[in-house]
């Protein structure tokens, strides 16, 4: 590992970040954790004893002015930014539809919020990071940045109910490749994605699990289509993120999407070709 004394900006402080943030903290780094609300402070407090300097910053990743402020604060305090993890995002009830009637009721503002939270947030962050790296390069300082976007497997195959969420990550897939070439060509660093499958978080818990901790019909459908027949954990995602962040391990990996999805969707008609896994599922509670 070559992350000691490096600086990382982590946008997002949810369930996925709770896996990789402690691993970063164990490396002796300088870490800024960014979220809209108190989750950044809670996550920062939980890893403050692991040997790194950890700073929480409240900001809205979908607001370009907030993003610019974050990069100014971190670069002023720590001088350099070596790693950017873009994990802000999510969907919202107002943008979900299950039939024609609910689709026709989706307001443009709801669509725009989903796109802003999941796609534009990454555009704004990478743009500000590129500005920071270019400034370093012009000052004859090392400018070898690593960007890791936390994305979704729905960027490859859209999911029912959440079309705009899927659209966002399809756009991120394209944008990451464009930026991987652009930053590499300009001598500024790398851009890669970690596409995450189904992990239980605050937003989707009620959708995937019943009150007793057993899978809902939607959750069961997902498990039947996942080769490992389980939901992911933050730990499943953490090591791949750390790998892509560390240039000593992944310097030649650029424009790549590492799928961490438990084998979701690698075969079709999964529920009809084998015995249903529902009979042997342990409680997820």
The pLDDT of residue 71 = 98
Ranges of H-type helices in the chain: 17-25, 39-46, 64-78, 100-104, 108-115, 121-138, 163-185, 205-208, 217-224, 234-245, 247-250, 270-273
Q: In Å, how far from its chain's centre is CA 103?
A: 27
Contacts within 8 Å (CB) and 24+ apart, 131-140: 131/71, 132/71, 132/75, 132/81, 133/81, 133/183, 133/188, 133/189, 134/186, 134/188, 136/80, 137/187, 137/188
Cα gap 128→33, rounded to integer Å:
16
Residue 219 · residue 277 · CB < 8 Å: no
Q: Facing residues of 30 across strands?
A: 7, 53
* pLDDT > 90: percent of the chain: 82
Collect all residues with Cβ–Cβ distance below 8 Å to 6 and sequence separation of at least 6. 27, 29, 30, 82, 83
**Tokens read off for 280:** 């042997």
Predicted local distance difference test score (pLDDT) of residue 278: 52
Q: What is the number of other CB atoms lying within 10 angstroms of the CB of residue 178?
A: 12
Q: Over range 259-279, report the average pLDDT.
A: 72
Structural fold of domain 7-90+116-199+231-262? Rossmann fold (3.40.50)
Structure tokens at 212: 């007793």
Angle between the N-to-C axes of helices 234-245 and 17-25, in degrees from 0 to 180, rounded to the nearest 10:
50
**pLDDT tens-digit readout, 89-122:** 999 999 999 999 999 999 999 999 999 999 999 9
Average pLDDT value for the chain: 93
How far, in Å, CA of 151 to CA of 159, rounded? Answer: 14
Write down the pTM of the prediction. Answer: 0.91
DSSP secondary structure letter of residue 108: H
Confidence class for position 156, pLDDT limits 50, 70, 90: very high
Q: What is the DSSP string of 177-193?
A: HHHHHHHHHTTSEEEEE
Query: pLDDT tens digit string along 43-100?
Result: 999 999 999 999 999 999 999 999 999 999 999 999 999 999 999 999 999 999 999 9
Residue-range domain boundaries for the chain: 7-90+116-199+231-262
| CA R_g for the chain | 19
Residue 271 to residue 269: CA distance in whole angstroms: 6
């Amino acid at each position: 590992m070559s992350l000691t004394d490096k600086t990382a900006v982590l946008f997002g402080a949810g369930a996925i970040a709770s896996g990789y943030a402690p691993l970063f903290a164990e490396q002796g780094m300088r870490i800024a954790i960014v979220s809209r609300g108190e989750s950044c402070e809670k996550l920062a407090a939980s890893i403050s004893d692991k040997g790194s300097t950890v700073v929480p910053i409240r900001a809205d990743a979908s607001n370009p002015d907030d993003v610019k402020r974050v990069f100014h604060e971190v670069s002023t305090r720590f001088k350099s930014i070596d790693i950017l993890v873009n994990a802000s995002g999510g969907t919202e009830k107002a943008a979900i539809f299950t039939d024609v009637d609910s689709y026709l009721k989706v307001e443009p503002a709801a669509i725009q919020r989903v796109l802003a939270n999941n796609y534009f947030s990454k555009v704004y962050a990478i743009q500000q990071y590129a500005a920071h790296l270019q400034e370093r390069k012009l000052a004859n300082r090392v400018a070898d940045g690593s960007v890791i976007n936390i994305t979704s497997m729905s960027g490859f195959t859209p999911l029912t109910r959440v079309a705009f969420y899927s659209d966002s990550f399809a756009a991120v897939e394209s944008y990451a490749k464009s930026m991987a070439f652009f930053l590499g060509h300009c001598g500024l660093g790398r851009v890669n994605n970690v596409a995450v499958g189904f992990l239980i978080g605050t937003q989707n818990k009620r959708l995937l699990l019943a009150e007793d901790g057993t899978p809902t019909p939607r959750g069961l459908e997902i498990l039947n289509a996942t080769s490992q027949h389980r939901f992911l954990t933050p730990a499943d995602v953490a090591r791949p993120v750390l790998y892509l962040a560390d240039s000593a391990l992944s310097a030649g990996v650029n424009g790549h999407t590492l799928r961490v999805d438990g084998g979701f969707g690698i075969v079709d008609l999964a529920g009809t070709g084998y015995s249903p896994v529902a009979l042997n599922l342990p409680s997820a509670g």
